[in-house]
Structure 1
Amino acid sequence: MTDDSLSPAARLRALADRLRDRSPALAGCLFGGAVAAGLSLGAYAVVVMALWIGSPYPDSGPGGATGTAVSLWLLGHGVGLTRADTLTGVPAPLGLTPLLLALLPFWLVRRAARDAAEPETPEAPEIPARTVVWGVTGGYTAVGALAALYAAGGELRPTLREAAWHLPLLALAAALTGLRSVRGRVADVPSPAGPEGRFGGVRAALTGRRGATACRAGLAAALTLAGGGAVLVGVSLTLHWEPARASYLMLTDVWSGRLAVLLLALALLPNAVIWGAAYALGTGFQVGTDTLVTPLAATSGPALPPFPLLAAFPPDGPGTPLTWACAAIPVVAGITAGWFTGRAAAPDRSSGTGTDGAPPPWPASVTAGTAALAALVAGLVCAGAARAAGGPLGTGRLAELGPVWWAAGGAALAWTLLLGVPTALALRAWRLRTRKQRGAGAGGGRWAGAGLFGIAMTGTGLAVPGAADGGTDPVPGPGAEDEPRDATDADEPEDDDPERVDPLDWWERVSRPDPVAALGGSFGTSYDLYDQLPAHGPEDWRALPAEPQDPPGERPPGRG
């Protein structure tokens, strides 16, 4: 009996039974997500309350400090705030998110999902992945919704529309990473369109070997750009240490205020790293309306407000060779993406099961396509990071701060595409050539056992080096026995390498009375040059017949 034939009452009973079976696990996941949200909120509240208690000029009571803590917690999720109490009376937006504020909530949600995915005992049943992910996300989002409603009546009011999707998005990403840390690849979390729905092909492409390689290479390029941005921030702070120190001391003269400024600067360090990466890409960043700071030129306009990180910006004017040297960072990022792709396109023997111990290499077109997909991944990651690292700090001059997200993403895509694809193809070709040489020289190297003029004696025949695979092609000697060809040889694909030497052609040449000419030499026909070579079988070089002999296994009818 199917569900369609059941009565409405029977369907309700079946649904209630399924919910009863899943309710303990689902309730535990919901509770874990709610606890993660409460712990992160409590941590922010403790820090803000400590600073409020130590401040000699408290503007509001404990309720105001608690509302500020909740607003900062929402700001850490990317939710924009609006300050209603301003000098001009016009509400001022606060959309620049200190990215370090998102670290604690992300880690707590990830830990909650990991704990929910791990069974308490080996005999306990495993909770389905979808229950873990959606349960933890739902519990976290529920607490976040209550926090957004609480902060809506304070001085820093959150944008409820942004809170409706920023909170579950961060919780979902953290829950997926926590589940993956326990169970590896997340395979049973259904996509919005089902396993074979609208996104089935995209999901299959991204979870395959080539898709995983592209994602890994793109993320490696993005991380390389971030590392270069961190280096630029460190160098700039070192070169502008005195202005940064003076601006820090200028802001306040009490320890609670200086501690608050220091914590804010630390929370904005990831933003500065992304700004540095955008600077290295060449697109730069904005420090206000109608301003742009790039390696080629910097126009920051009027004096910026005193703040340590703002004091480390390059001065106005054209670029210098020191700023132009930042172009090395995206170059290294593009080469990194190509290196990851090229290694996967031609893996070594340790990961294969083929005849030579290595999996079959990718075609050149597939390698180039994977490198291009890696460039797309790097561009998307950089665009998203640039979008998250910027935002407004008011309605005036500071209404535009940070990189232009679409320009940073496009520059990352272009750099990685132009450098990653050639690097991947070159590395693939090099690894294939090295693999062939290793396979051909397994007996002692490419020229192992080579005689005069590079003619190696192998068994009863000659081996002439110089083939396309870097090895030697055996040539039967005159005394070699005729061996019939295997019937399966006809089914083998033909070698499309134009430089490969056919052993039958060499047999026709070496069976002629002039071995030097047969080997492509220009030393004449004197056989005395080959006195040091051993004889092949019972015959000597001088006793070779003048008439060419038939190769083994292909004697024409009527002969021999």
Structure 2
Amino acid sequence: MTARRSPLSSLLSRLRDRSPGLVAGLLGGAVAAWLGLGAFAVLVMMLWISSPYPDSGPGGALHVAAGLWLLAHGAELIRTDTLSGAPAPVGVTPLLLLALPVWLAFRAARDAVEGDAAEGDAGDVFSGEGEREPVSGRTAWAGVVAGYLAVGGAAAWYAAGGTLRPDWVWTGVCVPLVVAVAAAAGVWTAYGRPRDAVDEVLLLMPAGVRRPFVGPAARARLDTAVRAAGAGVAVLVGGGALLLAVALVWHGGAARESFLRVTEGFSGQFAVLLLCLTLMPNAAVWATAYSLGPGFSLGAGHVVGPLSSSPAALLPPFPLLAAVPEEGAGGWVNWAAGAVPVAAGVTVGWFVGRAGCGGRGGRGGRGGRGGAEVWSRGRTAGVTLGAVGLAAAGVALLAGVAGGPLGVASLASFGPVWWQVGVAVLVWGAGVAVPVAVGVRGWGCRGVAEGPRARVGKPRVGEEGGGSGAGADEAERGWGARFSWRREGGGGGGGTEVAEGVVDDGSDGGPYDLLPAEPDGGPEPEVRAWGVDDAAREARWAALREASGRGDAADAG
């Protein structure tokens, strides 16, 4: 009766009971930020201790660590200890350092959701009264972002007292953006990467924008474009890394000489080696921009490209800069770098072309596998252009982050220009990927009958629990081809679903489930199991169709 709990403890208990994901998110976000700061502090302090001539105390080293931590989030820093006394910006973000805060924020958000889900069952937690309450991903995400930014704000305030001071505009934009995106990816992964999240985003878009993405067939095309774009970006950046390695080997003597000239002693050489390893991903992106054509700049007015190079004459002796091509017009060795975007375009075209013929690209056969859709040439080209656009956006983002200023005047521009790189990817993709995709699609569908094509009928879903034969619909189009769709079994116990159809030419962009035409004039029926979950799935698609202004049930299956 006399024992009392402290007000703070009571408040935390009530907060934990009401918002279990918020507390875990706040703690996880703060711990993630502290872990990142600690890693940078340990690295900088180790270099400071091993330096034979340190020009500042441990406080200055910690200020530098806080500034580098902000730089790793994409924020721009202002260097105050210049020879001229004028502040100079530092905006080149080491991509290898960027991976650490992104991974920490991602893990914090994922663990905040998965940790709460472990207390209950399948994403539920127990409330104080013993009832199950669903874990809110928004709450966990907000907690991680708020906890991370609280520590980040303190780090920015502390870094403002050092020689590398944060630019408050860049810090206020880049740090919250990086944390928010990484935490959102962590929450989405914790929930098993659900497609419902994509549906919710579509519902927020205007009807004209979301209409092309509604329906199973449209979603399949979007998935194909995303996978093809990811493969294209991987080939581009991997090819850039290969070009960088070849250039370093080609100029191995100059790189080794510059490594020995830039500093003396084991500690200094270790610091230079560590800096080179940190900037390797940036150099790979620069090499990618070189292979695409726009190249990169080594200061204002000094552009390095495959056609011609005009490197700056007063570059410091740095091993990665020793791999820069020599000044003058490029020869066949420089032009050979164009094989990288060609390989990327072929990769994107191969991915889309295989999907366009139902996954049988390059192997012949009759159309697609099972009930896979066979795309028309126009639709294949459209999906390829969409994939190229996504790849261009990804490479342009990498180019924008990998470059930036290192000072003023002639040092105000280092690295590739992001919009030029994006345009170059679009040009290479349209010239290489589209013909390859159409060719692979044609090769894979060469066994399909070339006669008249019939349009697939539109099935209508019957009432739930309607018993055998509910929802049957037949339509005859073109040369009398038939499409039928029925369900067998009723109630809530599930049953089987039988679908028949023919290849559609896709001229009207309708989201039909398509089957290949067989030599005897009709396809084999496709039978698949269905159960209680199909009712919720069909209800969601009905809401999407209604929101999109499409009152039919063309894609109900």
TM over 0.5: yes
Distance in structure 1 (CA, Å) of the matches to 2:354 and 2:336: 28
Amino acid at match of 2:234: L
1:140 matched to 2:148? The reply is yes
Q: Which of 396, 399, 418 is matched with 1:383 structurally?
A: 396
Distance in structure 2 (CA, Å) of the matches to 1:158 and 1:431: 55
Deviations 1:422-478 (A, max 9, x none): 2111111221224x38xxxxxxxxxxxxxxxxxxxxxxxxxxxxx879xxxxxxxxx
1:343 matched to 2:344? The reply is no
Deviations 1:29-52 (A, max 9, x none): 111011111001001001111111
Q: Which moved more, 1:181-190 or 1:30-39?
A: 181-190
Provide the identity percentage: 47
Change (3 A) 1:141 1:300: same
Change (3 A) 1:22 1:340: farther
Aligned to 1:325: 336
1:65 matched to 2:61? The reply is yes
Q: Which of 136, 157, 172 is matched with 2:165 structurally?
A: 157
Aligned to 2:20: 24
Q: Which of 478, 481, 486 is matched with 1:493 structurally?
A: 478
CA contact under 8 A between 1:133 and 1:175: conserved in structure 2? yes
Distance in structure 2 (CA, Å) of the matches to 1:384 and 1:55: 36
Q: State TM-score, norm by structure 2.
A: 0.72
- 1:439-478 equivalences in 2 (<5 Å): none
Change (3 A) 1:170 1:204: farther
Deviations 1:176-211 (A, max 9, x none): 3323433233556699x9763346765675692222
Give, in angstroms, the shift of residue 395 of structure 1.
1.1
CA contact under 8 A between 2:15 and 2:23: conserved in structure 1? no
Q: Give RMSD over aligned pairs.
A: 3.2
Distance in structure 2 (CA, Å) of the matches to 1:215 and 1:234: 29
Distance in structure 2 (CA, Å) of the matches to 1:117 and 1:206: 29
Give, in angstroms, the shift of residue 121 of structure 1.
4.0
Give, in angstroms, the shift of residue 57 of structure 1.
1.2
- 1:184-203 equivalences in 2 (<5 Å): 184-187=192-195, 196-198=203-205, 202=209
Q: Which of 313, 316, 321 is matched with 1:302 structurally?
A: 313
CA contact under 8 A between 1:349 and 1:359: conserved in structure 2? no
Distance in structure 1 (CA, Å) of the matches to 2:57 and 2:185: 39
Distance in structure 1 (CA, Å) of the matches to 2:334 and 2:223: 35
Rg comparison, structure with higher value: 1
Residue 268 of structure 1 aligns to a residue whose secondary structure is helix
Aligned to 2:118: 120
Instruction: Count residues in correspondence.
Output: 433
Segments of 4+ moved more than 4 angstroms: 17-22, 186-191, 199-207
1:418 matched to 2:403? The reply is no
Residue 32 of structure 1 aligns to a residue whose secondary structure is helix
- 1:527-546 equivalences in 2 (<5 Å): none
CA contact under 8 A between 1:82 and 1:158: conserved in structure 2? yes
Deviations 1:112-144 (A, max 9, x none): 122122122453535222223222222212211
Deviations 1:357-406 (A, max 9, x none): 23231222221111111111111111111111101111132221101111
Structure 2 gap ranges (5+): 1-12, 126-133, 362-366, 453-472, 482-502, 504-516, 521-557
Distance in structure 1 (CA, Å) of the matches to 2:418 and 2:360: 42
Q: Which of 25, 29, 41 is matched with 2:37 structurally?
A: 41
Aligned to 1:218: 229
Change (3 A) 1:77 1:99: same
Distance in structure 2 (CA, Å) of the matches to 1:284 and 1:120: 50
Aligned to 1:100: 96
Amino acid at match of 1:75: L
Q: State TM-score, norm by structure 1.
A: 0.72
Q: Which of 122, 130, 137 is matched with 1:129 structurally?
A: 137
Compare relative contact order (CA 8 Å, sep 6+) and give the higher one, 1 or 2: 2
Amino acid at match of 1:158: P
